[in-house]
Amino acid sequence: MSRRALTLLVAGFMVLALGVVGALMKVPYVVLSPGPTENTIGEVDKKPVISITDRQTYPTDGALSLVTVAYQGGPGSRIDLMTALRGWLDPNVAVVPEETIFPESRTAKQVEEENTVEMANSQDSATAAALTELGITYGTAVTVVTTEKGQPADGKLLKGDEINAIDGKKVTDTEMVQGTVRGLKAGTDVVFNVTRGKETLDVTVKTTQGDQGRSKVGLSMQAKYKFPFKVSISVGDVGGPSAGLMFALGIMDKLTPGSMTGGKSIAGTGTITPAGEVGPIGGIAQKMVGAKKAGATVFFAPADNCAEALKSVPDGLRLVKAETLHQAARALESIRAGKTDLPACTPR
């Protein structure tokens, strides 16, 4: 073999080796792809996704499906460059920087734990929103989650305390408590009426100076709902708050006579507040692809996601804007009636 041929052979081998090494190199990106869908009025592992006890329920039909996004990568399990390249070439997949999913300040485990908590809160908010829409009354309890060490509430208000009133005014939600405290001058005594175990007592706490000149006592709270009947939701290993809208619609469907879907396969996404406001989510493009693959013909998208959704909505999937639970429920009525004047997504 000539020296020239040998040189070319060695050079080619080195290029190939570098290519292989480069393709296997770990990169700080996450691949987002369409995840599984679950019918909120159906079953998972032969168990109802939504179970309601101590209240009459009605048969349902069709599907009101939540949609998810699957991901590859993240701290401790980074993808290789070849996987990222394949993702960039796939129109149904998104490749995003790792820190957009896993902020540097939090570990992958912490993110997963936060998603689990958000899912639980989403289920409570969805139940509250559904009952509000149906005119079914329920109670709300504001409880103490934590107190900041060294702050006025530390050692005076305890985890699990249920706050009944503040300065003699009945507590309705966490925002009411925060607003009352912030409206006082630093150094002012504020009286919390709380239930602690079986005891009800008044606890006096002095406000202190907080951020932006607003008073605080160093208190973290959580709203807990007192529903007149039990609503249980089970979807397996799914986290995050984005299924709120579909949970709420599923609960409404089970609590009302007749089928809200008219037998059609409907999917959607969006966070939900107890008042029924629908909020934006991530991964809308991948969620629409998952919905289409699952057989959905209509997709509810939060208003704030409409512009993005319009760019990648799959053929055969009708996009319907959902700003509130009420709007989504009325849209389902129109779909059942065969009407075409549905709330439409428009580019901004």
Model confidence at 224, pLDDT cuts 50, 70, 90, reads confident
Whether residue 324 contacts residue 277, with contact meaning beta carbons closer than 8 Å, is answered with yes
34 CB-near residues (< 8 Å, 6+ apart): 67, 69, 70, 92, 286, 287, 289, 290, 293
Q: Is the pLDDT of residue 127 over 60?
A: yes
Q: What pTM was computed for the model?
A: 0.77
Whether residue 96 contacts residue 33, with contact meaning beta carbons closer than 8 Å, is answered with no
Average pLDDT, the chain: 87
> Taking Cα atoms as reference points, which of 102, 64, 118, 323 lies closest to residue 241?
118
Report the sign of the C-alpha dihedral through residues 151, 154, 157, 159, in that order: positive
Per-residue b or e along 255-281, where b marks 16 or more CB atoms closer than 10 Å to that residue's CB: beeebbbeebbbbbbbbbbbebbbbbb
Q: What letter would DSSP give residue 207?
A: -
List, for residues 173-206, the tens digit of each pLDDT value.
888 899 999 999 999 999 999 999 999 999 999 9
Domains of the chain by residue range: 32-126+229-336, 139-226
> Taking Cα atoms as reference points, which of 152, 167, 340, 132 lies closest to residue 255?
132
Q: Is the pLDDT of residue 58 over 70?
A: yes
Q: Is the pLDDT of residue 71 over 90?
A: no
User: Which active-site residues does the annotation give?
Assistant: 242, 287
Considering the domain 139-226 in this protein, what is its CATH number? Answer: 2.30.42.10
What share of residues in the chain are helix, strand, coil (percent, to 5)?
Answer: 35, 30, 35
List, for residues 293-304, the tens digit of each pLDDT value.
999 999 999 999
Q: Is the pLDDT of residue 159 over 80?
A: yes
Question: For position 189, what pLDDT does the model report?
Answer: 97
Q: Is the pLDDT of residue 230 over 90?
A: yes
Question: For position 23, what pLDDT does the model report?
Answer: 52
Please state, in angstroms and rounded to a whole number, the distance separating the CA atoms of residues 162 and 195: 5
Question: For position 348, what pLDDT does the model report?
Answer: 64
50-59, 196-205, 227-236: segment of lowest average pLDDT: 227-236
Q: Quick one: how far is CA 118 from the chain centroid?
A: 6
**How far are the Cα atoms of 2, 14, 217 from residue 6, in angstroms, in the given order?**
6, 12, 77
In the chain, the amino acid numbered 12 is G
Instruction: Work out the widest C-alpha separation in the chain, in whole angstroms.
Output: 97
Please state, in angstroms and rounded to a whole number, the distance separating the CA atoms of residues 104 and 78: 14
Q: What does the CA dihedral 150, 223, 328, 283 come to, rounded to 10 degrees?
A: 40
Q: Quick one: how far is CA 148 from the chain centroid?
A: 27
Considering the domain 32-126+229-336 in this protein, what is its CATH number? Answer: 3.30.230
Q: Is the pLDDT of residue 317 over 90?
A: yes
Question: For position 172, what pLDDT does the model report?
Answer: 81
Please state, in angstroms and rounded to a whole number, the distance separating the CA atoms of residues 346 and 348: 6
Question: Token digits for 196?
Answer: 């602690």
